[in-house]
Every structure is written in C-alpha cells, then in structure tokens.
C-alpha cells in the first residue's frame, strides 16, 4: 500500500518548518539582546525554579545584612556611650580618693562636690543618648527620655527618676535567630536598686563632700570610703555592659561576612543557570540564520514547482 503526498501536505510541512525555524531564531535573538538564557520560566522550568529559589535566598541575605548593619550601628554607638560613662565614673573615683586624703580641707571637698555634680549631669545626659531619634537606654520605651531630674536644688541634683523599662529590642539576623540590640538600663545603671545605682551613689557622694551637717573630717572620710564600694560596683556594671555589647557586635560582623559570601555564591550559581553564553549563542544564531535561509529557499522552490505543475 502506497501513500500519496499531496501538495497540501507539503505546504503544511514547509510552513511548520518555517515556524519552528522562526521560533528558534527569535529565541536566540532574544538571548543575545537580554544576555539571559532564561527569559521566562517556560524556557527551562527546572532551572527557572532553582534560580527563583536562589533569588529568594539572596533577598533574605540582603535583609539580614541590613538588619545586622542597623543592629551593629546601635551596639557600637551604645558601646561608645558606655565607655565614656566608664571613664567618668573612674574620674569620680579619683576625685573621691583625693577628697579622702587628710590634706583635703572642707573648701576643696566642696569644690569636688560641685565637680561630681557636673559629672553626674554629664552621665545623666549620656544615659539619655539617642541614635536616629531613638533612646538607646530606655528599654522598649524608645520614644521617651528614660532618665529625668526629678529634683534639683542650688546644691545640685537631688533625685533622678527612671521613665523607661527593662524591655529588650531584638532584630532578626538569621532564620529563627534574633539578637538583642539594646542593654537593659536597669541592669546597667541600677541592678541593685535605684538607691545603690550610679546616679544615687553620685548624689550621695556629692552630699557627703558638701557636708551640710558639719561632720568632722574623719567622719567624712569614713563615709566617702564606704561609697567607694558603690562606685566600684557601678563601674563594674558598666564595664560588663560594654563587654556584652562588644561580644554581640563582633558576632554580628562575623555573621554578616558569612551572609555576604553566601550571597555572592548564590548570585554566581544563579548566573550559571540564567545567563547566556554569548559566544555559544552567537554561533548558534549564525547557524540558525543559515538554516532559516535554507528553509525559505526550499519552501520557495517547492512552491514554484507546485505552481508550475498546476499551470500545466
């Protein structure tokens, strides 16, 4: 049994060849222009799915790094403020030791009391430090000044009130990984209660130095010596806070470096999936153009031959 190939069948086949060649030619031209091997998921569904997953990972890496940058900035700023407070507490200790010296008289101690009141005001100001409009030592009450002067007389600051809380603020810096970007102000400035906190301790020291009760030099010296323990404890609290902040900051920098490398690797892998090999595409495009011309020429020959047969 034989099959007769009709002219209509030949034309359909030629038309299909032209369409196929045109489609391939268009795809190669699009790749040359876009420099991408995958311009739509249908070009390579498997590779497109893998590339989409990599792109999602890259977005996560960038978001985590952004959070880390913000957290690190806050931690570093907090460390800087705490270091300054630490230095001022050390200065207070030195002044108290000098005032305990038997050579110190009432007048010099009164001057020292004024100096310590100034240092207290400076520490109080730094405890109210803001970064980007946010109070860093207010717990979760970031929009409210955490420490206020509740009472002040000509002699100096008499009382400091705390308006914040002990809440922690956490940033997401990884999958199910949160980092605290603030220090608990209670733990830093008054872990043993406000009476024994750094502010009240300095107020008490100033009052002893001013000696409004007219105590003898020996009694003043004993009271100041007793306050040295509170001063040392307050300084230790601040130093520990500096250590905690520094540790978290270093850990975040290491994590950010890992994310940066992971993002670069992900971009490279995605490039291998999505980007076109221009040299290969150019060669295939040239070959396809030749094939297209051959298909067109063949189609024209068949068309002319069929038309001649029809006219006969």
The structure's pTM equals: 0.78
Residues 51, 271: Cα–Cα separation, whole Å: 8
What pLDDT shows up at residue 131?
94
pLDDT in tens, the chain (312 residues): 444 455 556 556 666 666 666 666 566 566 656 656 666 676 678 888 888 899 899 999 999 999 999 999 999 999 999 999 999 999 999 999 999 998 889 999 999 999 999 999 999 999 999 999 999 999 999 999 999 999 999 999 999 999 999 999 999 999 889 999 999 999 999 998 888 899 999 999 999 999 988 899 889 999 999 999 999 999 999 999 999 999 999 999 999 999 999 999 998 888 777 665 556 666 666 666 666 666 666 666 555 555 444 444
Place of tokens 């020996």: 218
Residues 22, 29: Cα–Cα separation, whole Å: 10
What pLDDT shows up at residue 217?
87
- Measured in degrees and rounded to the nearest 5, phi and psi for residue 15 equal -65, -40
Place of tokens 């043993």: 192
The answer to whether residues 253 and 72 touch, using CB atoms and an 8 Å cutoff, is yes
Residues 149, 107: Cα–Cα separation, whole Å: 26
What pLDDT shows up at residue 88?
97
> Cα 135 to chain center, whole Å?
18
What pLDDT shows up at residue 310?
44
Residues 22, 208: Cα–Cα separation, whole Å: 96
What pLDDT shows up at residue 1?
47
Residues 235, 229: Cα–Cα separation, whole Å: 10
Residues 178, 309: Cα–Cα separation, whole Å: 82
What pLDDT shows up at residue 53?
92
Residues 23, 42: Cα–Cα separation, whole Å: 14
Written as one string, the DSSP assignment of 138-166 is: STT-TTS-SEEEEEEETTEEEEEEE-S--
- Measured in degrees and rounded to the nearest 5, phi and psi for residue 192 equal -105, 20
Tokens of 65: 């790094």
CA angle 15, 21, 23 (to 5 degrees): 100
What pLDDT shows up at residue 303?
55
Spatial neighbors of 97 by CB under 8 A, at least 6 apart, are 228
The answer to whether residues 94 and 224 touch, using CB atoms and an 8 Å cutoff, is no
According to CATH, the superfamily of the domain at 55-268 is f41 fragment of flagellin, N-terminal domain (1.20.1330.10)
What pLDDT shows up at residue 272?
76
DSSP 276: -
What pLDDT shows up at residue 281?
61
DSSP 179: E
């Amino acid at each position: 049994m034989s099959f007769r190939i009709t002219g209509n069948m030949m034309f359909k086949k030629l038309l299909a060849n032209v369409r196929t060649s045109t489609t391939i030619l268009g795809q190669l031209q699009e790749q040359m222009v876009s420099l991408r091997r995958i311009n739509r998921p249908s070009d390579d569904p498997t590779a497109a799915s893998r590339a989409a997953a990599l792109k999602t990972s890259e977005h996560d890496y960038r978001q985590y790094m952004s959070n880390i940058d913000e957290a690190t900035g806050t931690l570093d700023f907090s460390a800087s403020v705490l270091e300054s407070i630490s230095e001022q507490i050390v200065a207070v200790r030195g002044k108290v030791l000098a005032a305990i010296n038997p050579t110190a008289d009432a007048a010099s101690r009164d001057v020292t009391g004024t100096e310590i009141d100034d240092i207290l005001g400076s520490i109080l100001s730094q405890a109210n430090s803001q970064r980007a409009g946010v109070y860093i030592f207010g717990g979760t009450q970031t929009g409210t000044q955490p420490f206020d002067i509740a009472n002040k007389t000509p002699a100096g600051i008499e009382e400091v009130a705390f308006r914040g809380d002990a809440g922690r603020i956490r940033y997401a810096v990884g999958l199910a990984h949160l980092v605290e970007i603030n220090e608990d102000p209670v733990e830093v400035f008054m872990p043993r209660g406000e009476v024994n906190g750094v502010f009240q301790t300095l107020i008490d020291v100033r009052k002893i130095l001013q000696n409004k009760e007219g105590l003898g030099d020996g009694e003043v010296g004993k009271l100041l010596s007793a306050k040295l323990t509170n001063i040392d404890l307050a300084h230790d609290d601040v130093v520990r806070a500096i250590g905690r902040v520094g540790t978290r900051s270093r850990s975040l920098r290491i994590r950010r470096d890992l994310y940066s490398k992971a993002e670069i690797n992900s971009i490279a892998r995605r490039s291998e999936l999505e980007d076109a090999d221009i040299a290969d595409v150019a060669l295939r495009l040239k070959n396809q153009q030749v094939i297209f011309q051959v298909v067109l020429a063949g189609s024209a020959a068949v068309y002319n031959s069929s038309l001649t047969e029809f006219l006969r």
